[in-house]
Amino acid sequence: MLTDLSIYDVVLIDQLDLSFSSGLSALTGETGAGKSIVLDALGLALGVRADRSLVRAGAKQARVIATFNLEPDHLVWALLAERELDADRSEDLVLRRTLSEDGKSKSFINDIPVSASLMREVGNLLVEIHGQHDGRGLMDVRTHILALDMFGGFAKLVDKCSNAYQTWKQAISAAEQLNRQANADAAEQVYLQEAASELDRLDPKSGEEQALAGQRSMMMQTEKLLSDLQSARTALEAGSGIDGQVGAALRNVETALSRFEPDIEDNAVQKLLQRSLQSLESGLVEIETANIAMDDAARQLVLEPGELEQSEERLFALRAVARKHKVDVEQLSSVRSDLSARLQALENLEQAQAKASQEVQKAYTEYAKIADDLSQKRQKAANKLDKEILKELAPLRLEKAKFLTRVEVQDPQNGSANGIDKVGFEISTNPGVPLGPLASIASGGELSRIALAIKAALAANFGPSVMVFDEIDQGVGGSVADAVGRRLALLAAGCQVLVITHSPQVAALASAQFQIEKSETKGVSRTSVVLLTDNEREEEIARMLAGAIITEQAREAAKSLLS
């Protein structure tokens, strides 16, 4: 509940400290006294968008402090914990907001600076403000589904549905991303396949370029090599030929050796001639070997038709592919491995696409199942809510009204995080008049009572800590105003209720009454708020009944209302 509200330099209020109790508290006063200022100040503390016009003339900043005493399991604590804001659940929660004359504001929760958005979130969980025309969202059909879910207690199921919806949408997003990637890679895949096929056909071998280059160089020099060999053979064969000359020399040396007597040993000349003979014999063998080698070389230099062209074609093909891939020929095998890896990645992408498509269908099926379950529960809850609201309308003198919570079920493909339902409140306040949207059918006075009935029905299942009604009784009086007051009092049994009212019947049913007054001193207007005693309440209610001149009859009527 709201225990204290301190207001400093807000419009006509320079300083005001209010303490509230549980139950129903009424704020009364003459028109123009400044009842709306108190409400604006409370809204400022709750994070409502602020206008610098709220700063009192001559002041540098406005300041409002709202203190709440909450149960340990209140939703606010969970929100603060989620935002990593340290808060002791055993202590009061204090909201403080300042607004400078330049329009800049600062927000604090338990003296810890927070964002304006967090302040609003906390404020929405603590206080619900309902006016005759704003309905705090009730007149906005988009809020009706939230009201129905509050009544049905579907918070966990709605969260489950929202999570399933997000999972589905994320699966769609992931699948679309893969599809975009696949479309972008389609041309690359064609290139990779063609490049890989080209390398497969070429099948480059390690060291092949060097070998082919050597062969090409040799084959291009074939004629010169053959000429060189021929010259060598000619040199060997000139005259009688080197082998013939060596043979003649060999025979002459043999003849010379034969002239020595066999029994002469260790003759120096004989030994030298023998060594010469051995060398000549070796020379003949080497010459023969050289001739054979040159013959073999000459035979190998004889090219097959087209052999040079084939070798050049192979070499040039290897070098052309290497240039295409901007690598050396020796690196083509690595290029082929890289192409294979990239092609494999694209094949894996196709598999990922197939899997992503399955995930989308799986997530959609799960979402559709949860959303359908939620929809069926909403339809059942809608019937119960209609009955509860009709019960609340009867004592508010709208017993002939018809109320319908219309639930329209959509295709799951068109669903949202809230499910597959469109929910709208419809009403008919007069017999024979067809049902229609809440905001367009009800009159101002009826609308306030309908809103109260809805709030009362919803409060039985879920409600904020504090509910504020701003002149909800406007346009009604007599027994209807009394019925409104009694319903507010019953509502206050389950939560703290503040009502700004002009109705004496409503004020009389409050457990506490505050009087708002405006005074003027030296040309400066001031608004003040005081908690009335029992006698002061009697006088104030009499004023509300009689007007400017309070009669004894009015005082007696006030006593009767208060009793």
Would you kindly state where each structural domain of the chain is located, as residue ranges?
1-128+471-476+500-532, 189-341, 534-563
Q: How sure is the predictor about 381, in pLDDT bands with cuts at 50, 70 and 90? A: very high
Question: pTM here?
Answer: 0.59
Q: In terms of pLDDT, which residue wins out, 202 or 125?
A: 125
Residue 536 phi/psi, 5-degree rounding, is: -70, -35
Identify the helix (H) or strand (E) that includes residue 512.
strand 512-521
Q: In terms of pLDDT, which residue wins out, 41 or 134?
A: 41
Q: What is the 3-state secondary structure (H, E, C) of 118-152?
A: HHHHHHHHHEEEEECCCHHHCCCHHHHHHHHHHHH
Identify the helix (H) or strand (E) that includes residue 403.
strand 402-409
**Does the pLDDT of residue 540 top 50, yes or no?**
yes
Please write down the long-range contacts of 323-332, taking CB distance under 8 Å and 24 or more positions apart.
Answer: 325/195, 329/204, 329/208, 329/209, 330/206, 330/207, 330/209, 332/199, 332/202, 332/204
The structure tokens listed for 72 are 């340990």
Closest CA to 75 of 139, 140, 124: 124
The residues near 488 (Cβ < 8 Å, ≥ 6 apart) are 24, 452, 469, 472, 497, 499, 506, 509
Give the pLDDT of residue 281.
Answer: 80
Q: In terms of pLDDT, which residue wins out, 341 or 193?
A: 341
Percent of the residues in the chain that have a pLDDT greater than 90, as a whole number? 24
Give the pLDDT of residue 424.
Answer: 92
Please write down the long-range contacts of 56-59, taking CB distance under 8 Å and 24 or more positions apart.
Answer: 56/9, 56/10, 56/11, 56/12, 56/13, 56/14, 59/9, 59/14, 59/101
Lowest mean pLDDT among 12-26, 158-172, 316-330: 316-330
Q: In terms of pLDDT, which residue wins out, 352 or 372?
A: 372
Give the pLDDT of residue 375.
Answer: 96
Q: What is the 3-state secondary structure (H, E, C) of 530-555?
A: EECCHHHHHHHHHHHHHCCCCCHHHH
CB-count exposure of residue 473 (10 Å: 0-12, 13-18, 19+): buried
Give the pLDDT of residue 557.
Answer: 84
Give the pLDDT of residue 132.
Answer: 52
As assigned by CATH, the class of the 1-128+471-476+500-532 domain is alpha beta
For residues 252-268, average pLDDT: 70
Q: How sure is the predictor about 8, in pLDDT bands with cuts at 50, 70 and 90? A: very high
Give the pLDDT of residue 218.
Answer: 66
**Does the pLDDT of residue 401 top 50, yes or no?**
yes
Please tell me whether residue 500 adopts helix, strand or coil conformation.
Answer: strand
Q: Which DSSP string corresponds to 62-126? A: EEEEEEE---TT-HHHHHHHHTT----TTS-EEEEEEEETTS-EEEEETTEEE-HHHHHHHHHHH
Instruction: Tell me the average pLDDT of the chain.
Output: 82
Give the pLDDT of residue 110.
Answer: 92
Q: How sure is the predictor about 135, in pLDDT bands with cuts at 50, 70 and 90? A: very low
